[in-house]
Amino acid sequence: MKRHYLVTGGAGFIGSHVASRLLRAGHRVTVLDNFSTGSRANLDAVRTEVGRRASELKVVEGSVTDARAVATAFDGIAGVVHLAALPSVVRSVEAPLESHDHNVTGTVQVLDAARRCGVRVVYAGSSSAYGEQDAQLKHEELRESPLSPYAASKLAGELYARAFGRVYDASVVVTRFFNVYGPRQVPDSPYSGVVAAFCFALLRGAQPRIDGDGSQTRDFTYVGDVAEGVARALEADLAPGCHTVNLAGGGNYSIRELLATLTRHAGADVEPVFGPARAGDVKHSQADVSRLRALLGYVPSTSFDAGLRATFDWYRQTYGETAATERGAGDRQN
């Protein structure tokens, strides 16, 4: 059935892929975004991807912390993908109250509007909720152990989701994302994800910076797979209440392996520089995906190599010329 869905944070990296996936399936989409880290360029890219269906995309500019903006965005919708947040560990260490406001207060606003309308929320949970664990695989029954204000804020959103499930029988699916990467991730901010930052450095001929010794491992998940999982969570036939599920491929790659793979795709020959390990970072992060398979009948399948190739190609197309110019300017200064 064709429906009208709300995507909060839809102008962001993951949100723009979710909006695109829903529009391509024939749904209407409203995006609620305050454009703090997201961009209009991402929405233009969505319009290009969906072609004639672009007219089915509506944009409400505003904050999820603002009840009036939320009420406007909820008009006529059948479900919500709630992604709006300040998604940075580093930024949360610098400004924990700011993270709390966007990530927790914003989430309560969205959950409250959704339970009043009786529509499902798919909430972007985070693997950071697990923190360090003895178990190699992070499964949903582990006791959470957030290590940063960001992780605490994302977990607080989950706790509200669980409480709303219990008290109001609200329908919520908490999808815990692991390290999501792919086209449209901002590459040149101090808060950038590692895949985007490495791609950008390689294109500029700069040395990629590894925080710590690079042996830390991550469950890198391609953004198209995340969008697919989220769309399934939105439409799955589930019992009322809150369901919490990892949304990742279940792989395990070190930062050094990541850099080696991207370096190969770039045809580059560079040595990284090493910096101190970052406060609030975990050593290993790998998802147990058995619940995902059971609940949604889906597990991300884009291989590490194919996902990184597609991602690097996108950065090359998008930033290649700028990076080459910067490189040229740098050469002239020397």
Ligand X SMILES: NC(=O)c1ccc[n+]([C@@H]2O[C@H](COP(=O)([O-])OP(=O)(O)OC[C@H]3O[C@@H](n4cnc5c(N)ncnc54)[C@H](O)[C@@H]3O)[C@@H](O)[C@H]2O)c1
CB-nearer residue toward ligand X: 45 or 270: 45
Task: Pick the stretch among 11-19, 20-28, 133-141, 161-169 that binds ligand X (CB under 6 A).
Answer: 11-19
Q: Out of 6, 11, 111, 196, name the contact with ligand X by CB under 6 A.
A: 11
CA gap 334, 329 in Å, rounded: 9
Say if CB 230 and CB 224 are below 8 A apart. Answer: no
Q: How far is the CB of 217 from ligand X (least distance, A)?
A: 15
CA gap 297, 290 in Å, rounded: 10
CB-nearer residue toward ligand X: 182 or 208: 182
Q: How far is the CB of 204 from ligand X (least distance, A)?
A: 21
Q: How far is the CB of 70 from ligand X (least distance, A)?
A: 9
* Binding footprint of ligand X, residue count (CB under 6 A): 31
Q: How far is the CB of 59 from ligand X (least distance, A)?
A: 11
Question: Taking CB under 6 A as the criterion, which residues in 136-195 touch ligand X?
Answer: 154, 177, 179-180, 193
CB-nearer residue toward ligand X: 19 or 239: 19
Catalytic sites, residue numbers: 150
Strand pairing report for 120-126 and 273-275: unpaired
Q: What amino acid is encoded at 242 in this protein?
A: C
Say if CB 139 and CB 290 are below 8 A apart. Answer: yes
Q: How far is the CB of 181 from ligand X (least distance, A)?
A: 7
Question: Taking CB under 6 A as the criterion, which residues in 50-109 touch ligand X?
Answer: 63-65, 83-87, 102, 106
CB-nearer residue toward ligand X: 44 or 169: 44
Q: Rounded to whole angstroms, what are the CA distances from 33 to 39, 86, 91? A: 9, 12, 19
Work out whether 229 is an interface residue with ligand X (CB under 6 A). no
CB-nearer residue toward ligand X: 205 or 224: 224
Q: Out of 7, 9, 60, 161, name the contact with ligand X by CB under 6 A.
A: 9
Candidates 67, 180, 1; CA nearest to 32 is 67
* Site residues for ligand X per CB under 6 A: 8-9, 11-15, 32-38, 63-65, 83-87, 102, 106, 124, 126, 154, 177, 179-180, 193
